[in-house]
Structure formats: structure tokens, C-alpha cells
């Protein structure tokens, strides 16, 4: 049971996490588009990581907004997808779009870990 006064802080924290997820989702979508324009340079591993992260962050945000009882588990999975995507993006450290995407993924992963109750 939640103590009085705790719900507002949690709602604020949850809203911050939703915003981080949506921002990361958008960044992954933009980065996928950038990768497609690169053609042969974009590796399939990076594209898979971007797609997984994009879909996971969108679903995670949706689940938190509707207060799904599975949102905590989804946040943990989302953090993992974001970490994997950040790592994949950093395989092309000279690409500014990839660097921005990795930063967005790291921020989202941190927020999702907090929501999931993980300590890292």
C-alpha cells in the first residue's frame, strides 16, 4: 500500500520516465532512418538494436501511462534494450547521430532501471 504523499513523487518520477522513453523512441526512429540512408555502412546488428529499443521504449511508455501491473517488469526489459542499443550505436563513435542516440538510450536506461527498482 502506498503512503499518503508518496503517489505524487512516484507520478512525477513515472512521468519523467515516460518522457525519457518517448524521447528515446523518437531518437531511435531518426537513427534508423539515418542508417537506411547510409546504405551498406549500417550494420544489421545496429538496425536490430535500434528497432528493439524503439519498440520497447514505446511499449514501456504506454504501459506506464495506463498503469499496467506489468510496467515494472517492462521497465527492466526496456533498460536492457536501451543498454544494448547504446552499445550498438557506439560501434560507430564518429557518427554524431549514433552518438546522440546512444546518449538518449543511456538516459532512458537509467530512468527505467530506477522505475524497475534496480540498483545500478
Task: Identify the CATH number of the domain in which residue 20 sits.
Answer: 1.20.1270.360
Domain assignment present for residue 10? The answer is no
Domain assignment present for residue 4? The answer is no
Q: Using a pLDDT cut of 70, give the percent of the chain over it.
A: 87
Kindly report the pTM of this predicted structure.
0.86
> What does the chain come to in residues?
120
Is residue 29 predicted with pLDDT exceeding 50? yes
At 5 the pLDDT is 42
Domain assignment present for residue 9? The answer is no
How confident is the model over 57-103, as pLDDT tens digits?
Answer: 999 999 999 999 999 999 999 999 999 999 999 999 999 999 999 99
How far is residue 12's CA from residue 49's CA, in Å, rounded to a whole number? 29
Number of folded domains that form the chain: 1
Residue 53 lies in domain = 15-36+43-116
pLDDT band at 38 (very low <50, low <70, confident <90, very high): confident
Is residue 3 predicted with pLDDT exceeding 80? no
Comparing C-alpha atoms, which of 23, 38, 16, 45 is closest to residue 101?
23
Amino acid at each position: 500500500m502506498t503512503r499518503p504523499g508518496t503517489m505524487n513523487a512516484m507520478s512525477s518520477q513515472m512521468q519523467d520516465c515516460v518522457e525519457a522513453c518517448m524521447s528515446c523512441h523518437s531518437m531511435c526512429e531518426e537513427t534508423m532512418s539515418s542508417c537506411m540512408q547510409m546504405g551498406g555502412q549500417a550494420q544489421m546488428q545496429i538496425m536490430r538494436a535500434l528497432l528493439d529499443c524503439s519498440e520497447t521504449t514505446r511499449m514501456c511508455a504506454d504501459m506506464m501511462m495506463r498503469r499496467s501491473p506489468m510496467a515494472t517488469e517492462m521497465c527492466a526489459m526496456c533498460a536492457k534494450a536501451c543498454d544494448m542499443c547504446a552499445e550498438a550505436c557506439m560501434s560507430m563513435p564518429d557518427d554524431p547521430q549514433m552518438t546522440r542516440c546512444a546518449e538518449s538510450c543511456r538516459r532512458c536506461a537509467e530512468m527505467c532501471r530506477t522505475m524497475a527498482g534496480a540498483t545500478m
